[in-house]
Amino acid sequence: MKTTGNTILITGGGSGIGRGLAEAFHKLDNTVIIAGRRENVLRETAQANPGMEYITLDTADSKSIAKATADLKERFPKLNVLINNAGIARPENLLDASSDFDAVEQMVATNLIAPLRLTAALLPQLEAQDAAVVMTVTSGLAFAPLAMMPTYCATKAAIHSWTESLRFQLRQTKVEVLELIPPYVQTELGGDRQLTDPRAMPLDEFISEVMEILKTQPEAKEINVERVQAMRYAAEGGQKKYQEFVNGFNEQMMAASH
């Protein structure tokens, strides 16, 4: 992926990793459009970065996607990069029969169905460009799940698998398919506590390392910072070592949450 001269749409671009990527690409003189449901957050981010554009978009709503697709084609005909970043995470107790299943469905709709729908809608425009990219933002939790967030982890594992299929199906086209696999990063995804959790990777350090990988490893299909390597390749040592890793990781996280 080239890091300059792009027109980039980033979902969930008003905060967290999405905003970090948007600002980093914006500084490299790309045309950046951030998208999300919270217009006030998008507006604040765009105002803080003069020249950055934004559109309101509910990626879980097919009508909103159709409207945004038409708007993007008209206003940004050179759009060549889609970064599927928007996501939500909620803890769940699978033993609680009274738990809110609407929250589960919302996670599946936002984290899984939405990027599939948006990518399908924008592929015709992307395929018309000389250097196009679809980047999905998954998680280290797609490879070593956090038991207290089962649906979130499952959606990220599904998006990883889907990304590999998309890459294969587009192998004869000019559309490059990348996967960004973050570790635990200091963002608001998991609430205020995650923003300052010392166990989480500082957002600015994560974004800096991601951009360095994009610049220096142009052939990389997965963007893995150093701190996610253990999770990404947890299964490489075989089933026994993988289970030991997952059990130890979950016990550590559970102890820290009390």
Q: For residues 59 and 81, is the Cβ–Cβ distance under 8 A?
A: no
**Residue 58 covered by a domain:** yes
Q: Which of 136, 171, 178, 176 is nearest to 157 (CA)?
A: 136
Q: Average pLDDT for residues 32-53, to the nearest whole number? A: 96
Annotated active-site residue 233? The verdict is no
Look over the chain and give the mean of its residue pLDDT values, rounded to a whole number: 94
In the chain, how many domains are there?
1
Whole-number pLDDT of residue 101: 87
**Residue 244 covered by a domain:** no
Phi-psi region at 21: left, alpha or beta (left = phi > 0; alpha = psi -120 to 50): alpha
Q: Is it the case that residue 253 has pLDDT exceeding 90? A: no
Burial class (CB in 10 A: 0-12, 13-18, 19+), 194: middle
Q: Choose the catalytic residue: 54, 152, 184, 233.
A: 152
Burial class (CB in 10 A: 0-12, 13-18, 19+), 117: middle
Percent of the chain at pLDDT > 70 equals 98
pLDDT band at 257 (very low <50, low <70, confident <90, very high): confident
Q: How far apart are CA 81 and CA 136, in angstroms?
A: 11
**Residue 224 covered by a domain:** yes
Whole-number pLDDT of residue 61: 87
**Residue 65 covered by a domain:** yes
Sheet arrangement for strand 175-180: 53-56, 31-36, 7-11, 81-84, 132-137, 175-180, 222-223
Q: How far apart are CA 157 and CA 148, in angstroms?
A: 15
**Residue 249 covered by a domain:** no
Q: Which of 91, 59, 82 is nearest to 180 (CA)?
A: 82
Contacts 24+ apart (CB under 8 A), 40-43: 41/14, 41/15, 42/13, 42/14
CATH code of the domain in which 126 resides: 3.40.50.720
**Residue 2 covered by a domain:** no
**Residue 45 covered by a domain:** yes
**Residue-number span of the structural domain to which 169 is assigned:** 7-229
Place of tokens 């350090």: 205
Whole-number pLDDT of residue 179: 98
**Residue 242 covered by a domain:** no
Whole-number pLDDT of residue 251: 94
Query: Global pTM?
Result: 0.95
